[in-house]
């Protein structure tokens, strides 16, 4: 049985340069190969005709080229010609499945993508956390999600519909896979590539890992940062996000202040309202106190109910009172209705239902 060759698209740009150097090739070959893989989306080494036949054969003996695939999708029911929120199960070459979502709005189409297969953080409201952690996604597996969803848009709606924004708010904690995430961001924002977004159109979400937030602030990227806060009372936040025990709110606040000072970027505090859990006047006052001195905006979102997880979304009146309290404190607040409830669009629901698919004959 022949050994299974590694996927060259799993390499970071640095890793690709090291491979090229080990073959005695000049450094610029790495950029050429990367562009043909991620801009031209070459399906095999033979497609990379800019390389000599000898080099293509050498690379083919060392690496394969594999792409993730769209396994299934579900569309939210909408009336009229509106484009629906659509959730996808994306199969990686090794059989692991992750979720990606297309979220349309008036002036944008956002791809919500995953950075890990599963998640190690076990947040109590999240279906992904119940799956456990499987592995980090490679740069190629991250970018494949965006490319595949953009292909879906073109096939379904024509070339006029394209992804305009990307958010790392799918499965996993992006800052635990920062090297691969930032490498993927570099690819998705390369102005010389066929698919390219401005970095400001990409948002990286985190539950609040303060050392990694500081590292992100020092990185040369201009992506946006969103923090899944969900409670501004320490004990309550720990009950929802267990890892918050290691990153208390005062430390998180300092890290966010440093991030904004270094980058000039406004931080989004994402606050998911849970009935009877974090929606009281006391919770609103605590959130206002936490956010008051930060360069931030607050994004209130509804909860997508998940089977076997005992949380409920709040009533509209409760949400209105909570929002009014924040506005009266002088804070910038937006309210986003959680989309995709009818298609299990909360993180991890579709993948947990399906479970991992391991092909009988890998690759």
Q: Which residues are the active-site residues?
A: 99, 347
Question: What b-and-e string marks burial along 48-57, b requiring 16 or more CB atoms within 10 Å of the CB?
Answer: beebeeebbe
2 half-sphere exposure, CB direction, 13 A CA radius: 10
Phi, psi of 234 (to 5 degrees): -55, -50
- Strand, helix or coil for residue 346: coil
Largest CA distance in the chain: 69
Residues 6+ apart with CB under 8 A from 356: 95, 96, 97, 117, 134
Q: How far is CA 215 from CA 115, 172, 240, 241, in A?
A: 17, 18, 25, 21
Question: CB under 8 Å to 362, separation ≥6 — which residues?
Answer: 4, 93, 94, 95
Q: Using CA atoms, how far apart are residues 301 and 310, in angstroms rounded to an integer?
A: 17
């Amino acid at each position: 049985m022949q050994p299974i060759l590694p996927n060259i698209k799993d390499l970071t740009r640095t890793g690709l340069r090291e491979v090229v150097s080990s073959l005695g090739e000049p450094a610029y070959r790495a950029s050429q190969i990367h562009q043909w893989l991620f801009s031209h989306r070459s399906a095999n080494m033979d497609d990379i005709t800019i390389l000599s036949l000898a080099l293509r054969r050498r690379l083919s003996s060392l690496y394969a080229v594999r792409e993730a695939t769209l396994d299934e999708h579900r569309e939210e029911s909408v009336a009229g010609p509106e484009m629906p929120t659509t959730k996808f199960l994306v199969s990686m070459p090794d059989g692991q499945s992750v979720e990606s979502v297309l979220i349309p709005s008036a002036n944008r189409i956002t791809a919500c993508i995953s950075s890990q297969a599963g998640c190690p953080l076990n947040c109590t409201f999240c279906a992904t956390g119940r799956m456990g952690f499987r592995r980090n996604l490679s740069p190629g597996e991250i970018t494949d999600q965006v490319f595949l969803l953009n292909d879906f848009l073109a096939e379904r709606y024509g070339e006029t519909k394209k992804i305009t924004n990307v958010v790392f708010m799918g499965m996993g904690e992006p800052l635990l896979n920062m090297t691969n995430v930032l490498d993927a961001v570099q690819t998705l924002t390369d102005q010389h590539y066929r698919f390219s977004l401005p970095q400001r159109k990409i948002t990286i979400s985190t539950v609040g890992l303060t050392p990694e937030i500081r590292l992100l602030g020092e990185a040369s990227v201009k992506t946006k940062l969103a923090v899944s806060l969900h409670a501004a009372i320490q004990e309550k936040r720990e009950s929802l996000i267990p890892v918050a025990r290691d990153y208390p709110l005062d430390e998180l606040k300092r890290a966010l202040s440093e991030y904004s000072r270094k980058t000039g970027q406004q931080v989004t505090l994402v606050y998911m309202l849970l009935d009877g859990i974090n929606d009281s006047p006391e919770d609103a006052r605590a959130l206002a106190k936490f956010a008051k001195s930060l360069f931030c905006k607050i994004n209130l979102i509804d909860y997508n109910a998940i089977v076997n997880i005992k949380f409920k979304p709040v009533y509209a009146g409760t949400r209105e009172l909570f929002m009014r309290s924040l506005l009266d404190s002088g804070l910038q607040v937006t309210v986003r209705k959680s989309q995709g409830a009818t298609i299990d669009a909360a993180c991890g629901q579709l993948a947990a239902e399906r479970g991992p698919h391991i092909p009988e004959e890998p690759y």
